[in-house]
Structure 1
């Protein structure tokens, strides 16, 4: 009598593979709807290539231990800062200003946006620092203050450099840094001070932008187009036809999709930057309310999976747990901001919809983060297997 052992490899994480596969299909199809092309050199073909490269990164990361990945944090963090500094002082011939922001290297047909990779490097670095601070268990107030200063010191340089290039991306960084601080075990009194200070700072900046625009431009170095976005968001009556053009087109596209959409080949509404910032509007017109709801549900599914992973892997590997905290916060704020600006509920900031929007830097950096999450999930399966042997 033959006996077949029931064994599933820990490297097979079916739900994460399913999520990534669905996002790949949605992304390539939506990008095709925004920029129809049958060529590999067209937007849909390039997006597929970016995804395939990202999947190779995910597979490659499987062969690293989480301890090895943690050791890479400092190198990726420093490399990100160096790229941001080089970008700041590069001539416009290789770092052109696009949409009012100098955020990309343009080397022939290859475009690189350092801030996208810096976000992952910063999350890794902070996860490493916070996990080491928690090795002893409970901490004193003095140790909490020391940890807080470390986090602030690590975050200040990259966030400052990104802010000089793109305030929207800098805001994204501040959000996930804040979430990681809140979940780092720091004393609630310090958390209250940080939270109150953060809210006060945001309100102060908004007050200055709205009431003292010259001061905001000259002292805070906030660009005129960014001030205009805030003003038109706070008071839509101030919007000119040009200000409303993108959001009006996005809302028209989403509304015209009705329940089930017009189909990917029957799009009638032209949405500027439809393959990047306004990809959700393209999905809305193509697949209607049903398609939009499906995309949102998939993001909820991913976030739920990450939250469960955060809790379960924490006893085994704190670095992985805190990285998942930062990565989850990154996905949540990108999704909220991008869909919000497509629905005219949030100011237009040029924030992509992760996993979906076109862009090599966005896709590859997002999948580097996903690779670490996938590795953590594999390691958790191994840990559980060892426990029950």
Structure 2
């Protein structure tokens, strides 16, 4: 699948757009959740459950699709996945039964879950060296924009055509993506024609975890997204309860957070051609740890200081996402999709764990202690992994550690 030139660029934008629209599926109907509740005459808790179920299924399917793609080939997984998403979106639009709606929504999650794994793995195969880092940054930048844009699109489409209009929109965009991928996504022959079973999957992920770089990325990626989503969930609480801001102003303060993640991806795209990846890993993990501590110290003292800490956190997350994906793609040449799938899985688990851990801990400790503790934990864990990474050999062209435990 390794190609160069114009076709590789076409594939980059096709898979990036595919991942962008796949991400829209997760957040696009958030603005019409009350409408869905009223149309199906169910509780708000039941509707929110479909949101959580979508995220959970997406996370778990990362672990399944990764080895499946490595063994069977990306195109053989991608095309059926998009077809499933099209059918599930149409089902969501047509059904008047909430149980069926939940089933179709779950199938939609299964269909779209393969896209981010395939996109990152394809970029890893099509590009090498600094070109891979630039391509990964472009992909992650589009991906980071989706959660901010999705509710806006959902609000416009849902306001005009109701909740079913949102799913017809998703079905239509999926048909468009199917056509683009059929035209441009390259045919792929997997490295080994083996069957997928539980033993094979366990061996895949055991080897990734035992690898120094793989273990570091999975551990640090989990902590990074746990911190980020704990901050995002706590932000409206402190803005409304402590600073007494209106909901409109609270919403506006999320704009710098979203914009800073895009800026972080662009910063990584610039720096990765000038600095080795381990140095960037050190820089952005240290920045995230210090910014978490800064958020802890300023959140109840100064709005400007808290906003500055929030921007730094967003920049670090925006840079770490393509950085970690690039490291995994460079390290695991023969099981790249499994490595990317494992990384995506810990990201989703970190996203889910952050708000839960926040609610548990705030019952017994203060927000200052919680976020300061998270910053300290990230710093300590990163220093421990740094010592392990430095103990192994490095791949000079990629700046990625190749030692295996």
Do they superpose with TM above 0.5? Answer: no
Which TM-score applies when normalising by structure 2? Answer: 0.31
Please state which structure has a larger fraction of its residues in helix. Answer: 2
Which TM-score applies when normalising by structure 1? Answer: 0.32
Q: If you compute each CA radius of gyration, which structure gives the higher value, 1 or 2?
A: 1
